[in-house]
Amino acid sequence: MHRFLSQRQNLLALAIVGFYVLVAAVAPLLASPDDPDHPSPFKVVGRSADRIPHPPNREALLGTLPGQLDIFYTLVWGTRSALRFGLIVALITTCLGVLIGATGGYYGGPINGLVMRITDAFLTFPTIAGVWLFQEVTLPAGPGVELTALQKALLNLKLEPVMLTLILFSWMPYARLINANMIQLKQMEYVLAARSLGARNIRIVLRHLLPNAIAPAIVLAARDVGGMVVLESAFTFIGLGGSTEWGILLVAGRDWTIGIDGNPLTYWWVFLPATLALIFFGLGWNLLGDGLNSLLNPRTSR
């Protein structure tokens, strides 16, 4: 930890990530909601019929969007959604990929061949098509149509189409990393010694193999926390799904990105705050992933 904290890049990563965590934790203090018991991520300041974005003022510290949506308020409360989405997707994706990759790598032979062919099949499926597919599956067929059992289950689990798609089509790099490490490590002397002493397969995997194979997956997961949020915002912006508040801010203000006089700085507040929030969110988690890579890599830990 001393070596990790002695690098400025890692301190910057912790500062950026810690800042977002702090904002999410004290969101009610930074941006007081109208209903504290059921806070909404959006707040209207002024007349909702006013379609002209207004610059920063006392009531809206970062200005408003068409419909007088308070940008600062949504940025603050959107931090909670961003952290929740990124951490859930990265955690589930990591667990799924590690489980599949470790199973195939440890048993090898036909089992590993089957696991890797399934992984390759998922790699060939386009993520955009997955978003469209799960939107059709999870949303009701029409107005007044009763939800199916699957749709009710996904609704109760709060799994949106974009989240479900990213989970099901992002585990493959983890599986490949763990699979390659498991194949190499299972031939090491300490693993062979544990097997000769009668240790069970599950103990060998959990006690001896995974602790030595999982470091690259942890690094990739840290980077994916930011990447998944940026990707969800991109899907929201192009209209393929997603409900991230930061993406909705960009959608609401995109008609004003280029001002009436052709100057992109005329209405800078409609796109710059949300864009910077996404950039620094992704940057912080990527820097943290790089720092963890240096910390967990035995070749650079001297």
If one counts every other C-beta atom within 10 angstroms of the C-beta of residue 268, the result is 16
| Nearest-angstrom CA–CA distance, 34 and 32 | 7
What is the pLDDT, as a whole number, of residue 297? 66
Cα-Cα-Cα-Cα dihedral sign, residues 30, 35, 37, 39: negative
| pLDDT tens, the chain, 302 aa long | 778 888 889 999 999 999 999 999 999 999 988 888 888 889 998 888 888 899 999 888 999 999 999 999 999 999 999 999 999 999 999 999 999 999 999 888 899 999 999 999 998 888 888 888 887 777 665 566 677 776 677 677 677 888 888 999 999 999 999 999 999 888 888 888 988 888 888 888 888 888 888 888 999 999 999 999 999 999 888 887 777 899 999 998 888 888 777 777 888 999 999 999 999 999 999 999 988 887 876 555 55
Q: Which fold has domain 2-26+75-125+169-300?
A: MetI-like fold (1.10.3720)
Any idea which residue has 């059992």 for tokens?
149
What is the pLDDT, as a whole number, of residue 275? 94
Angle, in degrees to the nearest 10, between helices 272-296 and 8-25: 130
**Cβ neighbours of residue 41 under 8 Å, at least 6 residues apart?**
74, 77, 78, 81, 245
What's the Rg (C-alpha) of the chain? 23
CB 155 within 8 Å of CB 147: yes
| Nearest-angstrom CA–CA distance, 250 and 262 | 18
CA atoms within 13 A on the CB side of 275: 10
Cα-Cα-Cα-Cα dihedral sign, residues 116, 128, 131, 280: positive
Largest distance between two CA atoms of the chain:
78
| Nearest-angstrom CA–CA distance, 21 and 258 | 32
If one counts every other C-beta atom within 10 angstroms of the C-beta of residue 291, the result is 21
If one counts every other C-beta atom within 10 angstroms of the C-beta of residue 37, the result is 5
**Cβ neighbours of residue 113 under 8 Å, at least 6 residues apart?**
none
The DSSP symbol for 264 reads T
pTM over 0.75: yes
- Residue-range domain boundaries for the chain: 2-26+75-125+169-300
